[in-house]
Amino acid sequence: MPIYEYKCEECSEEFEKLVFASSRVACPKCGSTEVKKKLSTFGMSGVSKPFAGGGHSSGCGSCSSSSCSSCH
């Protein structure tokens, strides 16, 4: 049961809704069912290490060495 973000086409209210399989979504402000699902971005704030395959050539990602023996 994911939480989706929506924007009402009638009153421009933006809201989140926990959606069940066949739920019909209505705006909590005006009650309209003319709503659009917003494109959500997954927040990654505070991440200090690069992701796997992030373009780093070193094995560990914390240095520029091609061998991680210097990182230990």
| pLDDT exceeds cutoff 90 at 29 | yes
Domain boundaries, the chain: 1-39
In DSSP terms, 15 is beta-bridged to: 6
pLDDT tens, residue by residue, 38-71: 976 655 455 555 555 555 444 555 566 555 555 5
Structural contact between residues 13 and 1, judged by C-beta atoms closer than 8 angstroms: no
